[in-house]
């Protein structure tokens, strides 16, 4: 699947900025998101949630609810499959509690009623008897001796003996001899860091409309990043065959990883089966905060040794992440990404996956990487300050390049870290003078990028236009880039292609829109499906001309004889061949199915200027520049949009956003008023520089861009704020009370 050599020529459509094909729907209110559809006879579902962080469910009495005329069905755990294991069981346990409520907000039962208001009223008629249990919500407290055990025997074989039962997975990577490396350093700095849990914060709450009949056949409409995966897991959880559940994805109002799994969909299906009517469930915002995936909170130690010239001699990191009451906090990604930008002789990284009484974490944009980068890049910044070295020069000295061995093992192929650092160094932002009270921070960041199962279909219409079907929901404009790649390859105008996100009944299995994979993997499959179509078009031309198929080439949207020996024929356009395809052999369509293996890793360098008010502890980002390698930007506007969006989510995480738990173990800020995401007036413009170092694993050189943009911001902003306030900030978010306390403690000595 190598970079197509032929593609070194100029692109015609790729790299331009056409209007997105779904644009008019989205600016006129026509686009249908999760909550925007209804069905005849539809009921409304609502979910009863635990008010306790940890409690045994002694009984659930639904008789008063069922007696209500408006209530048509009530479900509890007994209405779901009973034979699940592993992650399937974890998902079920998370969306409907079994023997215990494991966090504040854990689903206990659900009702379907004739209106949303009557469904909500009916929840008050369900009587649950709880036995409250001891709980723990802090990652460090969860592994202290005597901390309540969330689940006995949950640890897998990776965990060394003798650790607290709340440690359920362990990871380590690295090479060399870190002690030897530290001995060679002129300065060694070791620090501890904490990042609080944040939520993906998509503006559209989870919503779905489900219908499941007694015959085991179902239809599901939902906002999801991956409808094929939703079909698989939903079918498992309600005990039907995956192929009997057709899932159609709605337009999706943001996901950032948080809509890669299911929460309400299996519940709506179970209610629908019981009532034998369609059931719609729409989450409230507080339900989104309390019961859908926040990211992990983290506690970390990082130790780095440096020579006076800026060479890093050794690096060591410990990353403890809690992922709620379920395994799979992305501690290994934190441990793998943290040191990835640097070519290190001696490096060791370890990770612990820890259970707490919190909601099950879900992926959030490069899960694990931003926290790890925060810890590592903060220590590097402090080393640079102490050794009076330029932070970009130091990073350039130590940066990985093609052939370097990654801290986590493999050798890098062609990568663009050095290019991002060079561009950052040359950027006017980096040379601009700071005003009094301001500080500047720099950070690098790394993300793997993912490929995944991908299936694409491309069909010609009789008028020569093209219908492209992909199976990856469009979260941020990907229909445009798919149209561009198909048009580029076929040699036809962008407007002649329409991209549809096909339902699960219409295409082969497609992995979720996650891991920054869509433009890479669906793009690759689109290009190959277009090439498959071109082969078929050339065959039709060859038959018409009565020459060999090999004697026909495809250029600028036309079949042409390959050379003078092939004969002299008028070139045939795509439209001309399509016009009589029915008589020349039948419909023409191209397909491609693959799990590609060439998702190129990606790096970014961010520069941030921050201003600190020493009286109030308020920090403000006043200038921000993102420099990131995109491999090849198909639609540069949407690449810039990913850079800007990632940076601003990072600003929220660094400065304000956090899950706040009270002494009662309950979430204290389950709403946008108290969970403070950035608003327009908090921010400057976010400057972007798109670096293009082609990914050899994609025909046009594309690398994923969605996630890397959130890897550097936590560290870059923390470095800027620390330099502005002259106090090293090691706990995120740097909310005003936390920053003010740090400033005052430093002033008091």
Partner 1 sequence: MIHVKMKVNGDPTEFLCDPRETMLDALRDRLNLTGAKEGCGTGDCGACSILLDGNVVCSCLVLAAEGQDREIETVEGMAAGEDLHPLQRKFLEHAALQCGVCTPGILVAAKALLERVPDPTESEIRYWLAGNLCRCTGYDKIVHAVADAAIEMRST
Contact by Cβ (8 Å): 378, 311? no
Nearer to partner 1, 418 or 648 (CB): 648
Nearer to partner 1, 104 or 204 (CB): 204
Q: Which of 22, 138, 382, 503 binds partner 1 (CB under 8 A)?
A: 22
d(CA 188, CA 313): 9
d(CA 720, CA 729): 10
Q: Can residue 221 be called a binding residue for partner 1 (CB under 8 A)?
A: no
Q: Which of 24, 58, 183, 426 binds partner 1 (CB under 8 A)?
A: 24
Count CB-CB contacts under 10 A for residue 66. Answer: 15
Nearer to partner 1, 140 or 682 (CB): 682
Per-residue H/E/C for 191-204: EEEEECCCECCCCC
**What is the Cα Rg of the chain in Å?**
27
The dihedral of CA 85, 167, 296, 190: what is its sign? negative
The interface region with partner 1, picked from 2-10, 425-433, 532-540, 680-688 by CB under 8 A, is 680-688
Q: Which of 476, 523, 557, 596 binds partner 1 (CB under 8 A)?
A: 476
d(CA 613, CA 628): 30
Q: Which of 478, 490, 552, 496 is nearest to 527 (CA)?
A: 490
Q: Can residue 56 be called a binding residue for partner 1 (CB under 8 A)?
A: no
The footprint of partner 1 on residues 259-298 (CB under 8 A) is 282, 284-285
Q: Which of 257, 317, 323, 641 binds partner 1 (CB under 8 A)?
A: 641
Q: Can residue 671 be called a binding residue for partner 1 (CB under 8 A)?
A: yes
Helix ranges restricted to H, 198-309? 227-238, 265-275, 285-291
Q: Can residue 401 be called a binding residue for partner 1 (CB under 8 A)?
A: no
Strand ranges for 50-166 from DSSP E: 55-61, 71-75, 100-101, 107-113, 127-132
Q: Can residue 144 be called a binding residue for partner 1 (CB under 8 A)?
A: no
Q: Which of 345, 349, 390 is nearest to 369 (CA)?
A: 349
The dihedral of CA 78, 82, 86, 87: what is its sign? negative
Angle at 611 between CA 607 and CA 617, to 5 degrees: 130
CB of 646 to partner 1, least distance (A): 8
The footprint of partner 1 on residues 426-445 (CB under 8 A) is none
Q: Can residue 659 be called a binding residue for partner 1 (CB under 8 A)?
A: no
Q: Which of 11, 33, 89, 569 binds partner 1 (CB under 8 A)?
A: 33
CB of 666 to partner 1, least distance (A): 18
Count of residues touching partner 1 (by CB under 8 A): 61
Nearer to partner 1, 31 or 594 (CB): 31
Nearer to partner 1, 24 or 183 (CB): 24
The footprint of partner 1 on residues 477-506 (CB under 8 A) is 477
Q: Which of 3, 13, 14, 20 binds partner 1 (CB under 8 A)?
A: 20
Nearer to partner 1, 201 or 367 (CB): 201
Q: Can residue 42 be called a binding residue for partner 1 (CB under 8 A)?
A: no
CB of 649 to partner 1, least distance (A): 7
Contact by Cβ (8 Å): 507, 459? no
Q: Is the peptide bond before 733 cis (omega within 30 degrees of 0)?
A: yes
Q: Which of 4, 36, 140, 613 binds partner 1 (CB under 8 A)?
A: 36
Q: Which of 576, 677, 696, 741 binds partner 1 (CB under 8 A)?
A: 677
Q: Can residue 31 be called a binding residue for partner 1 (CB under 8 A)?
A: yes
d(CA 469, CA 589): 11
Helix ranges restricted to H, 511-595? 523-545, 574-579
The footprint of partner 1 on residues 184-203 (CB under 8 A) is 200-203
Q: Side by side, which strands form the sheet with 558-561?
A: 552-555, 558-561, 572-573
Q: Which of 94, 224, 649, 695 binds partner 1 (CB under 8 A)?
A: 649
Beta bridge partners of 554: 559
Can you say how many angstroms the Cα of residue 290 is from the centroid of all Cα atoms in its chain? 19
Residue 31 vs residues 207, 227, 481, 626: alpha-carbon distances, Å: 15, 18, 19, 31
Q: Can residue 672 be called a binding residue for partner 1 (CB under 8 A)?
A: yes
CB of 203 to partner 1, least distance (A): 4
Q: Can residue 637 be called a binding residue for partner 1 (CB under 8 A)?
A: yes
Residues that bind partner 1 (CB under 8 A): 17, 19-20, 22-24, 26-33, 35-36, 38, 115-117, 200-205, 251-256, 282, 284-285, 475-477, 635, 637-638, 640-642, 644-645, 647-649, 671-673, 677-683, 685-686
């Amino acid at each position: 699947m190598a970079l197509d050599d032929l593609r070194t020529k100029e692109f015609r459509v790729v790299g331009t900025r056409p209007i997105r094909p779904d644009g008019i729907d989205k600016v006129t209110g026509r686009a249908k998101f999760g909550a925007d559809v209804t069905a005849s006879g539809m009921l409304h579902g609502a979910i009863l949630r635990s008010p306790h962080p940890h409690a045994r469910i002694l009984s659930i009495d639904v008789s008063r609810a069922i007696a209500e005329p408006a209530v048509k069905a009530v479900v509890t755990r007994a209405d779901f499959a009973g034979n699940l294991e592993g992650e399937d069981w974890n998902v079920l346990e998370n969306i409907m509690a079994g023997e215990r409520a494991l966090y504040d907000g854990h689903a206990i039962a659900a009702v379907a009623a004739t209106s949303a208001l009557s469904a909500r009223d009916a929840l008050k008629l369900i009587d649950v008897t709880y036995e409250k249990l001891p709980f723990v919500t802090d990652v460090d407290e969860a592994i202290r001796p005597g901390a309540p055990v969330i689940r006995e025997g949950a640890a897998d074989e990776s965990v060394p003996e003798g650790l607290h039962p709340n440690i359920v997975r362990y990871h380590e990577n690295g090479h060399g001899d870190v002690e030897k490396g530290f001995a060679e350093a002129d300065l060694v700095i070791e620090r501890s860091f904490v990042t609080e849990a944040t939520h993906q914060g998509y503006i559209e709450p989870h919503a779905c409309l489900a219908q499941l009949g007694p015959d085991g056949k179902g239809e599901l409409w939902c906002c999801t990043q991956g409808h094929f995966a939703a079909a698989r897991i939903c079918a498992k959880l309600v005990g039907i065959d995956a192929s009997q559940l057709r899932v159609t994805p709605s337009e999706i109002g943001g996901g950032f990883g948080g809509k890669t799994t299911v929460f309400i969909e299996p519940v709506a299906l179970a209610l629908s089966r019981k009532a034998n009517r369609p059931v719609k469930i729409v989450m409230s915002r507080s339900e989104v905060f309390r019961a859908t995936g926040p990211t992990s909170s983290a506690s970390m130690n990082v130790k780095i040794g440096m020579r006076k010239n800026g060479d890093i001699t050794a690096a060591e990191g410990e990353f403890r992440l809690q992922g709620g009451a379920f395994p799979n906090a992305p501690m290994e990604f934190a441990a793998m990404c943290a040191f990835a930008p640097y070519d290190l002789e001696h490096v060791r990284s370890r990770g612990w996956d820890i259970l707490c009484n919190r909601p099950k974490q879900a992926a959030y944009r490069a899960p694990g990487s931003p926290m790890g980068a925060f810890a590592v890049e903060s220590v590097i910044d402090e080393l640079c300050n102490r050794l009076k070295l330029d932070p970009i020069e130091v990073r350039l000295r130590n940066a990985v390049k093609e052939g370097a061995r990654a801290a986590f093992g493999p050798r890098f192929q062609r990568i663009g870290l050095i290019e991002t650092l060079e561009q950052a160094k040359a950027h006017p932002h980096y040379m601009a003078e700071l005003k009094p009270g301001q500080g500047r921070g720099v950070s690098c960041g790394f993300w793997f990028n993912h490929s995944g199962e991908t299936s694409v279909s491309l069909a010609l219409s009789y008028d020569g236009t093209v219908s492209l079907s992909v199976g990856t929901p469009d979260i941020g404009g990907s229909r445009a880039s798919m149209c561009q790649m198909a048009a580029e390859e076929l040699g036809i105008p962008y407007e002649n292609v329409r991209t549809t996100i096909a339902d699960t009944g219409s295409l082969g299995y497609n992995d979720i829109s996650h891991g920054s994979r869509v433009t890479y993997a669906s793009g690759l499959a689109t290009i190959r499906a277009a090439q498959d179509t071109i082969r078929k078009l050339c065959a039709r031309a060859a038959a018409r001309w009565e020459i060999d198929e090999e004697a026909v080439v495809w250029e600028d949207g036309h079949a042409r004889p390959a050379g003078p020996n092939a004969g002299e024929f008028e070139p045939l356009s795509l439209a001309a061949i399509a016009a009589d395809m029915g008589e020349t052999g039948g419909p023409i369509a191209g397909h491609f199915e693959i799990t590609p293996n060439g998702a190129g890793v990606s790096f970014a360098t961010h520069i941030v200027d921050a201003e600190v008010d020493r009286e109030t502890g308020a920090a403000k980002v006043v200038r921000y520049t993102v420099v990131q390698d995109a491999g090849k930007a198909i639609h540069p506007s949407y690449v810039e949009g990913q850079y800007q969006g990632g940076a601003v989510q990072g600003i929220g995480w660094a400065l304000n956003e956090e899950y706040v738990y009270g002494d009662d173990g309950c979430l204290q800020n389950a709403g946008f008023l108290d969970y403070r995401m950035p608003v327009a007036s908090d921010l400057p413009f976010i400057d972007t520089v798109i670096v293009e170092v082609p990914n050899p694993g994609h025909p046009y050189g594309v690398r994923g861009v969605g996630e890397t943009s959130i890897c550097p911001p936590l560290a870059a902003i923390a470095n800027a704020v620390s330099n502005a306030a002259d106090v090293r900030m090691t706990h995120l978010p740097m909310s005003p009370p936390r920053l003010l306390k740090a400033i005052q403690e430093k002033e008091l000595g």
